[in-house]
Amino acid sequence: MNLEVPSFAKINWTLEILGRRADGYHELRTILQTVDVCDQLQFAPAEAEIALTCDHPDVPCDATNLIYRAAVLLKDLTGCDKGAKIDLQKRIPIGAGLGGGSSNAAITLLALTRLWELEVAPQDLFRLGSQLGSDVPFFFFGGTGIGIGRGDEVYPMADIVAEHVLLVNPGVQVPTREIYGNVSSELTSPRAVNNMPFSLQAAYARMRGAQWKLRNDLERPALALYPLIGQVKQRLIELNAASVLMSGSGATVFAVFESEAARTQARQALSETDWWCAATRTLSRNEYQAALEESFGF
């Protein structure tokens, strides 16, 4: 049995830093959203080894890759002695704030569970995902979700719909650790701990209805280090985007337009640059699950 599975990207409608936790991580509150831009992952059975290949020269295919690490963690958890040949067709930019690596890791865990015919409890998959990265658990269900804690405690929300989204990346790879290291002390002071949600109910209340708006607390430190991201934002504003925000830790900026014509006009205007652009739309939870189930043959 061979599997070919899409590995979708995400954007962050919001990303708030609420303070620094006792474990050294930042306490986050974020609304995540899958979009229909995706990598493609192919899985084939092998004797015992994990063999990873990729069509992008800058993607490592060794034990540092989250795909490889996910496979090893799954083997260790289950005692499985099977192997897999995995090929990644990379379409999501690297280090772009779109969750490409995290999505790849989540899809690998799901696909290898199917390929190796394993029985793994959902809570064990979520635990493995959390070990690999904060965004990984979100990609087990997709759609719109709220992340709290380190961002890895994720819960479904009512789907947010945006049909005319444009992703723009200026070709800058942004190290997430560097951006968090440049976060203002105002966001991590002891007083900021008072902003932390003490329950999921409190987190939902903060996000309900008109009480939330597009916000990314990582945008200011990212723009200070990489001003080109700010130039992308300004250009999209000039092109009459209804909403513009950096996704995750950058460098990708997403813009929401009110019509297909407005998005097409903006994309044409940006063709004079060497920036990566992708027209996309939000992917609901049902659409996301249906795409995975079709790939897995359910």
Model pLDDT, residue 18: 82
Confidence of residue 174 (pLDDT cuts 50, 70, 90): confident
Query: Would the pLDDT of 176 be above 90?
Result: no
Is residue 102 domain-resident?
Answer: yes
Residue 133, classed as helix, strand or coil, is: coil
Model pLDDT, residue 199: 52
Q: In this structure, what are the phi and psi dihedrals at residue 33, rounded to the nearest 5 degrees?
A: -145, 125
Residues 185-220 pLDDT 10s:
544 445 545 555 555 555 555 555 445 689 999 999
Is residue 181 domain-resident?
Answer: no
- Both structure tokens of 278: 């992708």
Confidence of residue 73 (pLDDT cuts 50, 70, 90): very high
Model pLDDT, residue 206: 56
Model pLDDT, residue 118: 97
Is residue 222 domain-resident?
Answer: no
Query: Would the pLDDT of 241 be above 90?
Result: yes
Beta strands 276-280 and 165-169 are antiparallel
Residues 108-132 pLDDT 10s:
999 999 999 999 999 999 999 999 9
Model pLDDT, residue 210: 45
If one compares 204 and 180, the residue with the highest pLDDT of the two is 180
Structural domains of the chain, count: 1
Residues 19-38 pLDDT 10s:
777 776 778 889 999 999 99
- Residue numbers annotated as active site: 10, 135
The CATH code of the domain that includes 109 is: 3.30.230.10
Is residue 261 domain-resident?
Answer: no
241 within 8 A of 166, measured Cβ to Cβ: yes
Positive or negative torsion for Cα 165, 36, 290, 68: negative
Confidence of residue 84 (pLDDT cuts 50, 70, 90): very high
Is residue 110 domain-resident?
Answer: yes
Alpha carbon distance 185, 190 (integer Å) = 10
Is residue 152 domain-resident?
Answer: yes
Positive or negative torsion for Cα 6, 162, 92, 214: negative
Q: Which domain holds residue 38?
A: 3-159+284-296
Is residue 291 domain-resident?
Answer: yes
Share of the chain above pLDDT 90, in %: 76
Is residue 236 domain-resident?
Answer: no
Residue 202: CB atoms within 10 A of its CB come to 12
Residue 106: CB atoms within 10 A of its CB come to 30
